[in-house]
Amino acid sequence: MTECRCFGAVAHYKPPSTDSNPTLEDPTPDYMNLLGMIFSMCGLMLKLKWCAWIAVYCSFISFANSRSSEDTKQMMSSFMLSISAVVMSYLQNPQPMSPPW
């Protein structure tokens, strides 16, 4: 078999820019991040425990779907915010959460 490798014609890898194809990007981590922040704000302001718990879930989902190039600071801050929402709701009102039914 003839040698088909060509060591001279090696092209460097160019990561595809996201500006050219915004549709190919998965929007899930960004949406979940935003949802998480909104729910944790609701949980803190309105003292709703279930909001705070949903915020924790949202930030976990956002973390699971995140790209490796994404900033970990953003992830950590949303996570901390949701944990603080849960803790504050329980400090203010230690009663257990009542189910909606």
Partner 1 sequence: FALLLDFKATFFLGRYNDDFDDGEDLAEFDDNDFAEFEDVNEDPTVEVESEPPPKPAPSSIPVEDDEDEATVEIEDGQDEFEDADAQVSDMYSKYDKDEFEGYEKTNSPFKDTLIYQDVPAHLQNSWESYYMEILMVTGLLAYIMNYIIGKNKNSRLAQAWFNSHRELLESNFALVGDDGTSKEATSTGKLNQENEHIYNLWCSGRVCCEGMLIQLKFLKRQDLLNVLARMMRPTCDQVQIKVTLNDEDMDTFVFAVGSRKAMSRLQKEMQDLSEFCGDKPKSGAKYSLPDSLSILSEMAEVSDGVMDSKMVHYITNHADKIESIHFSDQFSGPKVMQEEGQPLKLPETKKTLLFTFNVPGMGNTSPKDMDSLVPLMNMVIYSIDKVKKLRLNREGKLKADRNRARVEENFLKQTHAQRQEAAQTRREEKKRAEKERIMNEEDPERQRRLEEAAQRREQKKLEKKQMKMKQIKVKAM
CB of 100 to partner 1, least distance (A): 10
Smaller CB separation from partner 1, 73 or 95: 95
Contact between 31 and partner 1 by CB under 8 A: the answer reads no
Contact between 23 and partner 1 by CB under 8 A: the answer reads yes
Smaller CB separation from partner 1, 23 or 71: 23
Residue of 34, 45, 46, 64 interacting with partner 1 (CB under 8 A) = 64
Please name which of 43, 38, 46, 42 lies closest in space to residue 62, comparing C-alpha atoms. Answer: 38
The CA angle 73-83-50, to the nearest 5 degrees, is 130
Q: How far apart are CA 77 and CA 75, in angstroms?
A: 6
- Contact present, 70 and 29 (Cβ < 8 Å): yes
Q: How far apart are CA 20 and CA 9, in angstroms?
A: 26
Binding site for partner 1 (CB under 8 A): 4-7, 9-15, 20-21, 23-24, 53, 56-57, 60-61, 64-69, 94-99
